[in-house]
Structure 1
Amino acid sequence: MFELITAVALDVIFGEPPSKFHPVVLFGRIIAKIDKAYKRRKPLIDFIAGVFCTSIVLTFALFLSVVPILLPFPFNFLVEVYLLKSSFAIKSLYKHVEATICDDVERQRKAVSLIVSRNVSNLDRHHLNSASIESLAENIVDSVVAPIFYYLLFGLRGALIYRAVNTLDAMVGYRNDRYEFFGKFPARLDDILNFIPSRIAVLLFLPLNPKKVWRYYKLANFKINGDKPIACMSAVLGVWLEKKNAYRFEGRNPELEDVKRALWIYVFVVGLFLLFVFVLKFILINHVQ
């Protein structure tokens, strides 16, 4: 439990560690090299290549998770805390979304382009606000709830494997000519791993507006997981959130002020989740003793 408390504290205070030694960056480099080296062929072969790529990245994640076990105290503790902290991004997510709150539309467009994969060049102010809020809501699962959830279940290996799968999905899990089959396996694996965490996120939003959050959750049938926290954020804020040709949740126009409000909601939801996690761990530890 002390490892998790220390990792969360370091994240909240300092944010992300140097990218040169960040496990997610290392995962990304492995994926990029395999992606670049592999020449696309037939669908089945591409799918098998995607499974092979996933296996290599997950093997590396498992290797990293074993490193602390091989070290003496206090180095084992320090390395585990560092690797665990690298699996989630509480402060970094807050800061990236906060950077999108600016009066100049072009500056906002540039900031939003750093946190979403969609083309933002033609988005108006309201759609830029929406994209920023959507990214914040969806990443409550990817960047906070899911890695900590899998750490609770399986220890450090659970957190790192989840982060590896999530990185694979972010880099190759697209439905286009290049990644349709190569990225299918990691994309579906990411869907499986996010199924429970995305529903946990819904529960965290419920105290803010139980009836409306539940109603919007039941309307979230556009995606397997990603639209669930977005629907909840839309319900609490009372604004529409939309990704064109993908999903839309109704409400008034999202303004810059709503991005600020979304950050306060983020703090509440993440705080509630961490409180629940620490209380649960405390109870389990004392029950075992």
Structure 2
Amino acid sequence: MILAFGMLLDAVLGEPKWLWDRVPHPAVVMGRAVGWLDQKLNHGTTRRAKGVAAMFLLGCGAVLLGLILQTLGGMVQVLVVAVLLAQRSLVNHVRAVADALRLSLADGRRAVAMIVGRDTKTMDGPAVARGAIESAAENLSDGVIAPVFWFAVAGLPGLLLYKITNTADSMIGYRNARYEAFGWAAARFDDLLNMVPARLTALLIVATHGLWHRWVEIKREAPMHRSPNAGWPEAAMARALDVALAGPRSYDGEMRDFPFVNAAGKTTIGPSEIDAACDALWRTWAAALGLVVAIAVVLG
């Protein structure tokens, strides 16, 4: 039941600002470790090999720390799980976009810029809403279901291994001149660790919204996403809300013509659809919690 209690604690408390104003959040510490290795190793020749070595060191350190923390008792494990999950904070960030968009388009753009990596200065209202909903779907998988899955599979070592990999991918897993070689291992390992959780997230969205009849569509569209995993929760969320997601958007001043996901869905969307996405986040979280409790009961 450690995992269930951790999920509940995260859902109630989220990210207490008073605590993280005083001590660095574990994600910040992980980021510093990745940044240090990037600075020390990402230069000269054989950058891919150096990136593999960096990911190996980060992974071993995470697993070792998990093994140590696991000896400190159930309460410590509950706290670590709660800290490393992001359900409450994800909902808060996504809902903030809806609240801001109700005030003005400029406020909506500023709010969505906090959770997406695309250009936001020229977004219209529906584009702001799409960005928020896509972020909700992808981070539901990365920030909630995947950590839950890896704790269920391998305890704190599995959870910490996943989190350091996901952090490394978010920092160095880019296909650009600086990181294409050095970040290759982080990006590929993150893809591997997210393979099952992304599909599980889609299944949970489908189950909580009665969308089994549309699974074939989701399965067909998901691989069209630029990410091998993010397309699954995004395609499921698009159908849960009956909206069209993705589509053309700008990165670093360059427009990219991505196809729409669920192109037949609504395109004129706004704060109400973002609110519906937040409701979907909670429904999916509740289903995951129920599954965790059921498995714990069955296993004794």
- Provide the aligned C-alpha RMSD in A: 1.7
Q: How do 1:190-269 and structure 2 match up within 5 A?
A: 190-207=190-207, 208=209, 209-222=211-224, 223-244=227-248, 245=256, 246-249=258-261, 250=263, 251-253=265-267, 254-269=269-284
SS of residue in 1 equivalent to 2:223: coil
Gapped regions of structure 2 (runs ≥ 5): 249-255
Distance 1:87 1:188 in 2: 22
Letter in 1 for 2:282: V
- 2:14 matched residue in structure 1: 15
Task: Please say if residues 213 and 235 of structure 1, whose CA atoms lie closer than 8 Å, have aligned partners that are also in contact.
Answer: no
- 1:277 matched residue in structure 2: 292
Task: Please say if residues 172 and 183 of structure 2, whose CA atoms lie closer than 8 Å, have aligned partners that are also in contact.
Answer: yes
Query: CA shift at 1:247, angstroms?
Result: 4.1
Q: How do 1:1-289 and structure 2 match up within 5 A?
A: 1=1, 3-16=2-15, 18-19=19-20, 20-42=23-45, 45-71=46-72, 76-101=73-98, 102=100, 103=102, 104-207=104-207, 208=209, 209-222=211-224, 223-244=227-248, 245=256, 246-249=258-261, 250=263, 251-253=265-267, 254-285=269-300
Task: Please say if residues 213 and 236 of structure 1, whose CA atoms lie closer than 8 Å, have aligned partners that are also in contact.
Answer: no
Letter in 1 for 2:233: P
TM-score (norm 2): 0.87
Query: CA shift at 1:40, angstroms?
Result: 2.8
Distance 1:123 1:268 in 2: 29
TM-score (norm 1): 0.90
Distance 1:167 1:69 in 2: 21
Gapped regions of structure 1 (runs ≥ 5): none
Query: CA shift at 1:134, angstroms?
Result: 0.2
- Superimposed CA distance per residue, residues 225-254 of structure 1 (whole angstroms, 9 cap, x where no aligned partner): 111110111112111101533442112213
Q: 1:183 to 1:107 in 2, by over 3 A?
A: same
Query: CA shift at 1:23, angstroms?
Result: 2.1
Letter in 2 for 1:28: G
Letter in 1 for 2:198: S
The alignment covers a number of residue pairs equal to 278
Distance 1:105 1:35 in 2: 38
| Identity in percent | 31
Distance 2:62 2:25 in 1: 12
- Superimposed CA distance per residue, residues 197-244 of structure 1 (whole angstroms, 9 cap, x where no aligned partner): 111112112231222344133222223111111011111211110153
Task: Please say if residues 140 and 266 of structure 1, whose CA atoms lie closer than 8 Å, have aligned partners that are also in contact.
Answer: yes
Task: Please say if residues 205 and 213 of structure 1, whose CA atoms lie closer than 8 Å, have aligned partners that are also in contact.
Answer: no
Distance 1:33 1:212 in 2: 45
SS of residue in 1 equivalent to 2:84: coil
SS of residue in 2 equivalent to 1:220: helix
Letter in 1 for 2:118: R
Distance 1:255 1:47 in 2: 43
